Amino acid sequence: MVKQSKRMKALAELAPSKTALPLDDAVAMLKKFNTTKFDQSVEVAMRLGIDAKQADQIVRSSIVLPHGLGRTLRVIVFAKGDKVDEAQEAGADEVGGPELAERIKGGWTDFDVCIASPDMMGVVGPLGRVLGPRGLMPSPRAGTVTPDVGKMVKEYKAGKVEFRNDSGGNVHAVVGKLSFDTPKLAENIRTFVNHVVGLKPSAVKGQYLKGIAISATMSPSVRVQPL
């Protein structure tokens, strides 16, 4: 059993464990937990009434949050020809081909997002064993395999969030920093939740959204009322 620190025990006493709050109140409560020396990330978790084993009930997408994530993502791009300049001008941290693949094969994964133009998948494909387990493998469904590499780089630099439900039917993602003003943090959360709600698979029967909670890196969670 994991032993709770005195700090976490004290914060847990402040959190309304079973009471769901309106979003603005939940964010205000969460901000009371800002007692660390670093700026904690804020995450939203949604419990969905889906069967994660069924392919037609997978919930997966991406979205650009209105106020970003509070940090700049490191983005690398596999491209060649004119696409190299396009990616660099958009702000990519690294752009390359076979030489970049060799660095990754050697263990380098100091980046948050990997984007590839379709004509580079022959180079990227063999990296699946390294990138796949880390959730970094480019995918057409996620939009990270695209001929428009410049646009995709700009979106991720602006605060794009990529997500997919886990095996328990839950969706979770970082939606900002605890230092964000309450209205901005609430708008990011509302935008994300509404997007996920809009992705309800047609095969899902019964209640789709079963619960919402928000938490920070080192805080208890706070339940949120349906928006």
- Do the Cβ atoms of 65 and 163 come closer than 8 Å? no
The predicted pLDDT at position 58 comes to 94
- Closest C-alpha among 175, 197, 205 to residue 26: 175
- Do the Cβ atoms of 154 and 52 come closer than 8 Å? no
Looking at this protein, which amino acid is placed at residue 168?
G
pLDDT along the chain (227 residues), means of 10: 56 68 95 87 97 95 92 94 97 97 96 96 96 92 92 93 93 95 96 97 95 93 93
- Closest C-alpha among 119, 86, 135 to residue 127: 135
**Domain at 16-69+160-224, CATH from 3.30.70.260, 3.30.420.40, 3.30.190.20, 3.30.1330.10:** 3.30.190.20
Q: What is the pLDDT of residues 59-109, one digit of tens each?
A: 998 899 999 999 889 999 999 999 999 999 999 999 999 999 999 999 999
The predicted pLDDT at position 3 comes to 58
End-to-end CA distance of the chain: 35
Determine the Cα–Cα distance for residues 28 and 81; give it in Å rounded to an integer. Answer: 49
In the chain, residues under CATH classification 3.40.50.790 are: 75-157
Strands 209-216 and 222-224: antiparallel
- Closest C-alpha among 139, 86, 88 to residue 115: 139
Strands 94-96 and 160-164: unpaired
Strand partners, 75: 113
pTM above 0.75, yes or no: yes
Determine the Cα–Cα distance for residues 138 and 150; give it in Å rounded to an integer. Answer: 15
Strand partners, 116: 78, 145
Q: Give the number of other Cβ atoms within 10 Å of residue 201's Cβ.
A: 15
Q: What is the pLDDT of residues 123-138, one digit of tens each?
A: 999 999 999 999 899 9
- Do the Cβ atoms of 212 and 221 come closer than 8 Å? no
Dihedral angle of Cα 8, 13, 182, 135, to the nearest 10 degrees: 40
Tell me, which fold does domain 75-157 have in CATH?
Rossmann fold (3.40.50)
The predicted pLDDT at position 71 comes to 87
In the chain, residues under CATH classification 3.30.190.20 are: 16-69+160-224
The predicted pLDDT at position 1 comes to 46
